[in-house]
Structure formats: C-alpha cells, structure tokens
Amino acid sequence: MGYDNDADKLEQLLGSLIKMVGNANKNVDSLQKRVSQLEWLIMEQQQVIKENAELNRIYSAPPHEEVVTIPFRF
C-alpha cells in the first residue's frame, strides 16, 4: 500500500507542477503582449514627436532672408 500512496502523491505533485507551468506560461504570454503594446505606443509617439519637430523646423525658419531697410532722406 505504501507504493501506491507514493505513486499517487507523485502523480498529484506532477499534476500541480504542470498546472503551475501552464499558469506561468499564461502570465508570460500576457506580459509579452503588454510589452509589445508598449513598444508600439512608444514607436508611435516617437514618430509624432519627429513629425512635430520637422514641422517646427519648417515653419519656424524665416521664409526668406531678412530685408534691410535703408532710411530715406530728403
């Protein structure tokens, strides 16, 4: 009877370990999805920042050289 009891305990332990590994895999998959989402959002934000910087450079530059006016004398 001792052998059967040990075999049952070992089977229960193995079953528990399989469940633990399955749960750990689910957590890893969920974490990987979140990391992918964050990476995507960061890339999107970097693109927006880059586009805004480019627009600021284009529109903040003077359209032509500064005009020097010479005072008119009579």
Tokens of 19: 């469940």
C-alpha pair distances (Å), 42 with each of 49, 50, 53: 10, 12, 16
For residues 17, 18, 19, 22, the Cα torsion angle rounded to the nearest 10 degrees is: 120
Q: For the segment 7-57, what is each residue's pLDDT rounded down to a tens digit? A: 999 999 999 999 999 999 999 999 999 999 999 999 999 999 998 888 887
Query: What local confidence, expressed as pLDDT, does residue 47 receive?
Result: 93
Q: Which residue reads 């070992």 in tokens?
A: 10
Q: What is the dihedral of CA 49, 51, 55, 58, to 10 degrees?
A: 110
